[in-house]
Amino acid sequence: MASVSSIEELIDSLRQLPGIGPKAAQRMAYQLLTSDKETASRLGNALLNAVKNVKRCPRCNNLTDKDVCKYCSSIHRDDSLLCVVETVADMMVIEQSLSWNGRYFILMGRLSPLNGIGPNELELGHLIDRASEPEVKEVVIATSFTAEGEATALAITELLAKHTPHVKVTRIAKGIPAGAELEYTDVNTVAQAMLNRRIRENN
């Protein structure tokens, strides 16, 4: 550290951010130090505060600076519904879709044997405990529709069938994305959309 200047250390640290290459890190550092020292101080403090204060919610694994996260502690959410997602980012996109008013459970990853992530690396035991709470009536599995996400969904389905047979287990729908044209949608997705067709209701 003694021979590395503050600027080089800043550029090097910025490069560790996901998606930031050497050129972008350099540009950011120069802009922050040339015309935007206030932003630099604010971001520096925000990072150190977040590292100090943010921890995992003990009920759902969400990031929070409270004892229990806002989704688990809210009194306006339905305790009978539990949505299982892979990551905090997945949970956020569901929140932003305004389509869910139940609770969440974050697996912190998905099954990925090639990367050494088996059932023991995920929070599956924690999930079974959570799904076993008496008020839970339905668990919605919202893992991704990738090979690994599907394998994770299957493993969860089997685990829940064994440990909490009274709980209904559902999977979010696979189908044509909103705004997509059939002609340009891949045949696998079209086949799934045909198989999963639903009776059209008047609403």
Interface with a copy of itself, residue 73, by CB under 8 A: no
| Closer residue to a copy of itself, CB minimum distance, 1 or 187 | 1
Cβ 89 to a copy of itself, closest distance in Å?
Answer: 5
Q: Which of the stretches 34-42, 74-82, 135-143, 183-191 binds a copy of itself when contact is defined by CB under 8 A?
A: 34-42
Helix, strand or coil, per DSSP, at residue 137: coil
Interface with a copy of itself, residue 168, by CB under 8 A: no
Please report the beta strands in the chain, taking only residues with DSSP state E, as ranges in sequence order.
55-56, 63-64, 78-85, 102-106, 138-141, 168-171
Residue from 3, 19, 195, 202 binding a copy of itself (CB under 8 A)? 19
Start-to-end C-alpha separation, the chain? 65
What is the longest distance spanned by two Cα atoms in the chain? 72
d(CA 89, CA 142) in angstroms, rounded, equals 12
Q: Give me the residues that bind a copy of itself (CB under 8 A), please.
A: 5-7, 9-10, 12-14, 16-19, 24, 26-34, 36-37, 39-54, 63-66, 87-89, 92, 108
